[in-house]
């Protein structure tokens, strides 16, 4: 038998045999608090995404050297606590007043994540990894 055919046949035999093994499933009761926390996190993430979709915010980000799409991708990669902090800052900022400080905060977050090696937004940073 050809060695490749032997390898494919052996792989199929092993994988078919392993398909018959039972798999363990874990299930837990989801509390009301956990369910509400998920809904709140989704609302905060939507709030931050809609903020970065605004034209004036995108223009301010462009002035800092960040594209709006890169900012949205970074928001998608943020943890729930980071999104909650950023959403809190957005809610506290006056309408159109302190947009520059918020953009600066996002710039710092993106810079730190670049340095830590989680993202690669800025070409002038080097990862510590």
Residue 95 has what pLDDT? Answer: 59
> Which residue has 């996190």 as its token pair?
41
Task: Say if residues 115 and 128 touch (Cβ distance below 8 Å).
Answer: yes
Q: Which two tokens stand for residue 74?
A: 């970074």
Residue 99 has what pLDDT? Answer: 66
Residue 11 has what pLDDT? Answer: 92
Residue 122 has what pLDDT? Answer: 72
Residue 75 has what pLDDT? Answer: 79
Please list the ranges in the chain whose pLDDT falls under 50: none
Residue 98 has what pLDDT? Answer: 60
Nearest to 121 by CA among 51, 61, 79, 80: 61
């Amino acid at each position: 038998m050809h060695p490749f055919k032997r390898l494919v046949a052996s792989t199929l035999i092993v994988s078919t045999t392993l398909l018959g093994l039972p798999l363990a499933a874990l299930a837990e009761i989801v509390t009301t608090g956990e369910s509400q926390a998920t809904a709140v996190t989704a609302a905060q993430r939507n709030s931050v995404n809609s903020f970065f979709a605004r034209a004036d915010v995108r223009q301010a980000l462009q002035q800092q050297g960040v594209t709006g799409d890169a900012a949205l991708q970074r928001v998608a990669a943020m943890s729930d606590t980071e999104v909650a902090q950023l959403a809190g800052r957005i809610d506290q900022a006056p309408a159109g007043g302190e947009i520059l400080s918020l953009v600066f905060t996002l710039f710092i977050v993106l810079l730190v994540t670049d340095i830590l090696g989680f993202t690669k937004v800025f070409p002038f940073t080097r990862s510590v990894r």
